[in-house]
Chains A and B, each alone.
Chain A
Amino acid sequence: MKISFTLNGKQTGVDVSADRKVVEVLREELMLTGTKEGCGAGECGACTILVDGRARLSCLMTAAQIEGRSITTIEGLSQNGGGMHPVQEAFIENGAVQCGFCTPGMVLSAVDLLDKNSDPTREQIREGLSGNLCRCSGYVKIVDAVEAAALQIRREKAR
């Protein structure tokens, strides 16, 4: 089945089985390996992508479902305007990355969260990221990073 959609801002087409998992289409057909598959069952969030700006699990979507949609993966987040997204910068600065397997999903969930609430409490950040598991970091630095990114985003808006 031919599927066309916008991928990281570019019109894209692929020819794949309609019932193929979106995470596989991204990784194996489009070679965008930033999106990870951990559990394949909705429980870890490693496969998080943005679909029309909202965070979704690409391991629980069929290829047919992305027809006509706008998809953002971790590879595309930095392309908007060139530099890194404030959430990505904050993850680096705060040492919120260890092995990095959870990071693309964490970052995209944080982007969705900050889009809805630009001034979340630490508790709201924890709740907002509760679908993304990290086996390395203990989460403290991840929450620090999202707090810092929120501040940075608010500063940029105020300018």
Chain B
Amino acid sequence: MREVILPGSLEELWRLLSDRPQARVYAGGTDLLVRMYKGLLDPEALICLDRIEELKGVGEQDGCVRIGSCATYGRLVEEPLVRCLPALRKAIGQIGSPLVRNMGTIGGNICTASPAGDTLPPLYAMEAEVELLSREGSRRAPIREFITGPGATCLKRAEILSAVWVKKPQEYNVHHFEKVGLRNALACSVVTMAALLRLGPGGMVEKAAFAWGSVAPTVFSCPEAQEALSGKPLSAASLSRAADLVRNVVRPISDVRADADYRRAVAGNLLLRLLDVAYERKG
């Protein structure tokens, strides 16, 4: 029989983790328990973080929003501070189903490190940092360094993800997230894109940040496309050039949901939509 323990505080968690170095932590269980009950995973013991209130808060400090790792999606869409992060909020609102969002957490999405994790493209585009906590203390790392491959992070033993820090993207005036899946609800992403733009007078692109999900082993950024657009007016022609650059460098795989060529095409096409997105913003 496998132990499942629910510590009520971080103090208790550190004690449990040092007594049971083989235990696996989990939060909502919407990734871990699926795999465990399918028999793909057989942890010696489980430690559920769900009762540690310190890990669930959302706060604000030095122009950054700090999101506790164990905050559920359901909680986050209701949270006023998350409104300052529109691209992330859009991504969260489309995850799974209301039931999955009542249980799944942002920390679980980051630690699962799936190329199809829907919070990851907006977090990459906003250059989020993760806060990692252990008995010894805390450290911070850019999310793109924390995630090292599909399903792989540099989380150390007896360390947890305690929060994610996101600088308020005030320098941008277009905040976009789009998910292409095979249906509206309960769809694993085929391709996703987060896009942030600062448009100046005359529709001039002053700054751009993009990130794609499901087109490479980890979330994919394309500095070439960002540069190609910067300093140019947002137009069908400039977007089309940037889209070509993206299609040339993405490294998608073929799987049951889509083949690589389709993903490559869509990754570029999602950029083309930015023209509509930006015009809608202007009414």
Contact = CB atoms under 8 A, between A and B. Distances in A.
Interface in A66-117: 67, 109, 112-113
B217 interface: no
A109 B122 CA distance: 29
A130 B37 contact: no
Contact of A18 (B2, B50, B185): B2
B176 to A, nearest CB: 20
B100 A42 contact: yes
A19 B1 contact: yes
A56 B99 contact: yes
Contacts of B48: 62, 64-65
B151 interface: no
Interface in A105-157: 109, 112-113, 127-132
Nearest to B103: A56
Interface string B1-13: 1111110000000
Given A42-B30, A61-B29, A127 B98 contact: yes
B6 A67 contact: yes
A30 interface: no
B53 to A, nearest CB: 14
A69 B37 CA distance: 22
A42 B101 CA distance: 11
A45 B186 CA distance: 11
A63 B6 CA distance: 11
Contact of A45 (B5, B36, B99): B99
Contact of B97 (A19, A45, A61, A65): A45
Of the four ranges (under 10, 10 to 19, 20 to 34, 35 or more), the interface on chain A belongs to 20 to 34
Of the four ranges (under 10, 10 to 19, 20 to 34, 35 or more), the interface on chain B belongs to 20 to 34
A43 B186 contact: yes
B184 interface: yes
A131 B46 contact: no
Contacts of B5: 64
Contacts of A41: 34, 37-38
A19 B98 contact: no
A60 B30 contact: yes
Given A127-B98, A127-B185, 6 more contacts: A19-B3, A42-B30, A59-B37, A64-B48, A65-B48, A128-B98
Q: Which 10 A-B pairs have the closest CB atoms?
A: A131-B97, A130-B185, A64-B4, A131-B99, A18-B4, A19-B2, A60-B33, A62-B4, A17-B1, A41-B34
Interface of A: 1, 17-19, 21, 40-43, 45, 48, 54-57, 59-65, 67, 109, 112-113, 127-132
Interface of B: 1-6, 28-30, 33-34, 36-38, 46, 48, 50, 74, 96-100, 102-103, 184-186
22 contacts: A1-B1, A17-B1, A18-B4, A19-B2, A21-B37, A41-B38, A42-B96, A42-B99, A42-B100, A43-B186, A57-B100, A60-B33, A62-B29, A64-B6, A64-B46, A65-B4, A109-B99, A113-B98, A129-B98, A130-B98, A131-B97, A132-B99
